[in-house]
Amino acid sequence: MVGGRDELRPLLFSAMIRAGALDGQLYVLEVIEQIVSIALWFKPGHMLWSSEEQRNLGYNKLMEQLSEEDRNWWTNTYTAQVGDFLKKTLEVPFEEIWWLSLLGTDPAYQRHGYATRLMDFVLTKMNSPGHAASTLIQEKFYNGVGYPTKGFFTLPNRLNPVPVYSFLRKI
């Protein structure tokens, strides 16, 4: 996602969180006043970095830092192939789906159910016919919290192929 440049990971996640704070719904779980798990959702009709306002909160800066080849991968390969894949595998129109754009737990706090608690909490607040999570890894986790796998493909990448899954849970 960052062209093998780990120093850009904080910029990537900052851009996601800032865009989510603007147009999405950001949920955090704290343990002793420390954020240990985070979930970033976009309500139906909204998606991560779908507006110029969102992109101005870090995405554009990230793109400037990437090589031309990696920018091209993001704007052409990733966007087109993942978009086509999700359209084929999900049963609900995009406009009716809650999109999970980020779910993560600090490695020191994993396997304590924190991400599962965030998912369960958010489920009680949703009122659309379905919602989806598309992710690069963690199929077992999503299946375990009630999100059946709807599809899988391998996205080409110059460094390593990227496994991509789609999950949909009807509510």
pLDDT digits (tens, 9 = 90+) for 126-162: 765 566 655 656 788 888 888 889 999 988 888 888 8
* pLDDT in the model for residue 143: 87
Position with higher pLDDT, 62 vs 171 = 62
For residue range 46-105, what is the model confidence (pLDDT) as tens digits? 989 999 999 999 999 999 999 999 999 999 999 899 989 988 998 788 888 888 889 999
Residue 12 to residue 64: CA distance in whole angstroms: 12
Give one DSSP letter per residue of 17-29, joined into a string.
Answer: HHHHHHHSEEEEE
3: left (phi over 0), alpha (psi -120 to 50) or beta: left
Average pLDDT, the chain: 88
Which pLDDT tens digit goes with each residue over 39-48? 999 988 898 9
Residues 6+ apart with CB under 8 A from 85: 151, 153, 164, 166
3-class SS at 153? strand
| pTM for this model (two decimals) | 0.82
**pLDDT given for residue 23 in this prediction:** 94
What kind and span of H or E run contains 166? Answer: strand 162-170
DSSP codes joined into one string, 88-142 = HH-SS-GGGEEEEEEEEE-GGGTTSSHHHHHHHHHHTT--SSEEEEEESS-HHHH
CA distance 85 to 48: 17
Rounded CA separation 129/15 (Å): 29
Task: Find the Cα–Cα–Cα–Cα dihedral 113, 118, 123, 125, rounded to 10°.
Answer: 150
The one-letter code for the residue type at 168 is L
Asked if 108 and 31 count as a contact pair (C-beta separation under 8 A), the reply is no
